[in-house]
Structure 1
Amino acid sequence: MRATRPTVLVLQHVACEGPGLLGKVLREHGYRLEFVRIHRGDRVPRTLGRHAGLVVMGGPMSVYDQDKLAHLRAELALIRATLASGRPILGICLGSQLLAAALGASVHPGRRKEIGWHELTLSAAARRDPLWQGLPDKFTGFHWHGDIFDLPEGATALARSELTRYQAFRFGQNAYGFLFHLEVDALAAGRMAKTFKAELLAATGTTPEQLAASTAQHAETLADIGELVFAQWAGLLSARDA
């Protein structure tokens, strides 16, 4: 029997974008979260070390800000090292963009910012994917991004929205990128709306109060989907950890 619980390393860029539902599910599956809080000045490690997997969260910065933000270069190096190790990776929003960039894909501004609750459509490949199989072909997800990515060579597209062609992808068996925010609950969505209130209003003409009304309509269904998807990702950790 292990003396300590296995850990997952979480790179967090801003206080309002934590692992949310993902963290809850991982803890329920016996994993402890260890954080690198970049917004507090924590340094990004060179390798994953003893950790069972890597989670890279969202943030307002862009992958192409590497010349100004040294931590982005360090994150890309860690992602590449983790890919080489074969251990599971999950990138969310900025994290998915960093994963795509680490795999050689272009990351660039989209036609316009995609913020709020918008419909997602799963691909045919998602119906056979270990994380997504058996889930509805369409559901409403929470979005907060301006940048998008091309599909990395060799990756499988899993979801799209009306505005964005690639909303989720898998590379190999253990690396996943979700551009949308599957991890948010009503509280987390509210924190993001309050933190980025000016961006929300400028991009969508929506106030935090108006966004909260949409959140009340969609958050519970998204959480049901998130519980299932994140439990399957925890299963990837367990398979590697066995």
Structure 2
Amino acid sequence: MRVLVIQNEPTSHVSLLGEHLKAAGAELVTTEPHHGVDLPDSTDGFDGAVVLGGPQHAHNDADYPAFGPICDLLGAFHDQGKPLLGLCLGGQLLARTFGARVRVNDFFEYGYLPIDITAEGQQDKLLGGLSPRQHILQWHEDTFGLPDGAVRLMTGATTANQAFRYGDTAYGFQCHFEVSLDHATSWIENFNHVIIGKLGEVEGRQAIDRARAEFKRHARDANEFCRVVGGRWAELVKARRQARAA
């Protein structure tokens, strides 16, 4: 099976999720539409798509004109029953694709914050059987609304919509469950200037110290979440591919 990976920012790559998808038999084809690697013309030859995070705002077409074509391509994947997985900005772009609003959140979320699997999420094929409370890396200032007909799968105290399913095959997450231990460490240690610029010196340093402590407590469990959910999504891609071939 071949999976398209839409990478919106060089430092936000497919990371640990990619390892699990490849272990499940996926060939990953990465495109960077904001950095000179064009989107494919169609979904032909792909069985699913992953859309990754980035610092952009999902409705900022003026500065990022690739967003419109990205959403068109995601819509085509969905119309053909090919599974989708969006993470952070990727989840926001999926919400936009299906008609929901993306806006600046009332809270800036950073660190391994608690998020809860909803009752509907506990019945979902990706999340069923997992611990109802998860602590997964967050780093975002925007939030997405739920598309009409979507099912809320995860929720949090300061961001109500943490994950959704649209139809049977499209999944959008606000968190960054894709990151490996090394990747998360790099973000926490190498981008402190971004957090301080956002929150100020005192509050920024406090947030960074909190994120370091949360990393020690929760990062390995978050990686297990990635293994399970990534593996289940890969099985969904396989099943849909086999159904089309039947």
- TM-score when normalising by structure 2: 0.91
- Structure 1 residue 171 and structure 2 residue 171: aligned? no
2:105 to 98, 106, 110: 110
The match for 2:132 among 122, 128, 137 is 137
SS of the aligned residue for 1:205 comes to helix
Match of residue 216 from structure 2: 216
Q: Which runs of 5+ in 2 are unaligned?
A: none
- Distance in structure 2 (CA, Å) of the matches to 1:55 and 1:45: 14
Supply the distance in 1 between the matched residues of 2:116 and 2:61 (Cα, whole angstroms).
32
- Can you list the C-alpha shifts for 1:9-54, whole angstroms capped at 9, x where unaligned? 0001112111122111111111111000235311122322101100
Deviation at 1:90, TM superposition (A): 0.3
Please give the alpha-carbon distance, in whole angstroms, between the structure 2 residues aligned to 1:105 and 1:157.
13
1:68-94 C-alpha deviation (Å, 9 max, x unpaired) = 211111111111111111100000000
Give the Cα–Cα distance (whole angstroms) in 2 for the partners of residues 235 and 176 of structure 1.
14
- Within 5 A, what are the aligned runs for 1:139-158? 139-158=134-153
Say whether the 8 Å CA contact 1:48–1:54 is kept in structure 2. Answer: no
Say what the alpha-carbon RMSD is for the aligned residues: 1.5
Is 1:47 aligned to 2:42, yes or no?
Answer: yes
- In structure 2, distance between residues paired with 1:78 and 1:39: 15
Q: Is 2:4–2:46's contact at 8 Å kept on the other side of the alignment?
A: yes
The number of equivalent residue pairs is 237
* CA gap 1:107/1:195 in 2 versus in 1, 3 angstroms: farther
Determine if contact 1:17/1:192 at 8 Å carries over to the other structure: no
Shift of 1:185: 2.1
Look up the match of 1:236: 236
Residue 129 of structure 1 aligns with an amino acid whose one-letter code is: D
2:54 to 55, 59, 65: 59
Greater Cα shift, 165-174 or 183-192 = 183-192
1:205 is matched with which residue? 204
Equivalent positions of 1:184-203 (< 5 A) are 184-194=179-189, 196-201=191-196, 202-203=198-199
Within 2, Cα distance between the matches of 1:210 and 1:137?
23
Q: How does 1:63-102 map to 2 (within 5 A)?
A: 63-102=58-97
Identify the range of structure 1 (130-139 vs 42-51) with the bigger mean alpha-carbon deviation: 42-51
Instruction: Determine what percentage of the aligned residue pairs are the same residue.
Output: 32
TM-score, structure 1 as length reference: 0.93
**Corresponding residue of 2:226:** 226
Distance 1:195 1:239 in 2: 40
Structure 2 counterpart SS, 1:70 = coil
Q: 1:74, 1:198 → 2: CA distance? A: 32
Question: Which residue identity lines up with residue 29 of structure 2 in the other structure?
Answer: E
Amino acid at match of 2:46: H
